[in-house]
Amino acid sequence: MTLNIRIATRKSELALWQAEHVAGELRTLPEVDDVVLVPMTTRGDEILDRSLQNIGGKGLFIKELETAIKNDIADIAVHSMKDVPADMPAGFCIATVLERASPFDALLTRSGQKFMELPHAAIIGSSSLRRQAQLRALRPDVRVEALRGNVNTRLGKLADGQYDAIVLACAGLERLGFEQRISERFDPEQMLPAAAQGVIGIECLEERDNLRRLLAQLEHAPTRQTTLAERAVARRLQATCQSPVASFATLHGDDLTLLALVAGIDGSHILREEITGSSADADALGTEAADRLLARGAAELLAPESA
């Protein structure tokens, strides 16, 4: 018996690229008869005049897609995992994660300047509190201002001179063919990425056992382990996708090393933790790293953001 699979996706160019990529992978499976996309506009796409943290966070990009699955309009949804809340709603699961693309953040400037070459009080576009805090920690003189819209819109605002630089995820730029626009890639010592940045996840209903078994064929086990560890940090800290929280895990054989960070939004106070253990304990390692951060005052740093 073969399956027809409907993919709920946002209509942005990057979201459609990711959905088409997953569709292509699914079409290689003999159990799949056909794959169709169900493009949708979410509230997060519609409200562009306010910051995400003021209108409900990046979960706004997810909820309509989940409703489509629940109402049998779609079978699966394809997400950038960095946008997916750490706690999944009841009845849903991330059935599969694909192999991770670049996890790092990219600086884009009009003339190819590196971050430390930008002029004094340069205006940098980013709506991520995580990026804002780390940029200010590196250079307290810069002005970080909100930046919303899809990748092309953000690149257009840079080209128009509204910003001296902008910061975007390397993975999205590379997937859309904009890799040549990157002026500098931040290493983890400069800017720790968001949990699961660069990872594509496939969501479905937990009860769809046959579908989950099929999707498992696309699973990349090492990416699952790093994703578990990184998302455990956010879950334990009760952080949202917009919190000034970062985590990044790497595998070395059977060992997993996790870096975790909580920052004050102004960048003046940053807490970092590093932990290494068995990759089989990925979730527990993430929780332990978060507990260490909490013991050092992470909750107080996050309190203004959550108030």
Q: CA torsion, points 116, 121, 125, 131, in degrees to nearest 10?
A: 60
Tokens 């890639």 correspond to: 185
Q: Which residues are catalytic?
A: 83
Contacts of 164 (CB under 8 A, 6+ apart): 109, 118, 119, 122, 123, 124
Report which of 263, 262, 256 is spatially closest to residue 284, judged by C-alpha positions. 256
Question: Residue 2: what pLDDT?
Answer: 78
* Structural tokens at position 32: 């799949």
The string of pLDDT tens digits covering residues 83-127 is 999 999 999 999 999 999 999 999 999 999 999 999 999 999 999
The string of pLDDT tens digits covering residues 138-159 is 999 999 999 989 999 999 999 9
Percent helix, strand, coil in the chain (nearest 5)? 40, 25, 35
pLDDT band at 61 (very low <50, low <70, confident <90, very high): confident
> Mean pLDDT, to the nearest integer, of 276-284?
98
- CB-facing half-sphere around the CA of 162: CA atoms within 13 A: 14
pTM: 0.92
Q: What is the 3-state secondary structure (H, E, C) of 143-209?
A: EEECCCCCHHHHHHHHHCCCCCEEEEEHHHHHHCCCHHHCCEECCCCCCCCCCCCCCEEEEEECCCH
Q: Could you give the domains of the chain?
A: 3-98+199-219 (3.40.190.10), 105-185 (3.40.190.10), 232-306 (3.30.160.40)
> Mean pLDDT, to the nearest integer, of 20-36?
97
Question: Residue 44: what pLDDT?
Answer: 55
* Structural tokens at position 250: 């790497």
* Structural tokens at position 95: 């059935």
**Which run of H or of E encompasses 211?**
helix 209-215
- 254: pLDDT strictly greater than 90: yes
* Structural tokens at position 262: 């909580």
Buried/exposed code over 22-57 (b: 16+ C-beta within 10 A; e: otherwise): bbebbeeeeebeebebbebebebbeeeeeebbeebb
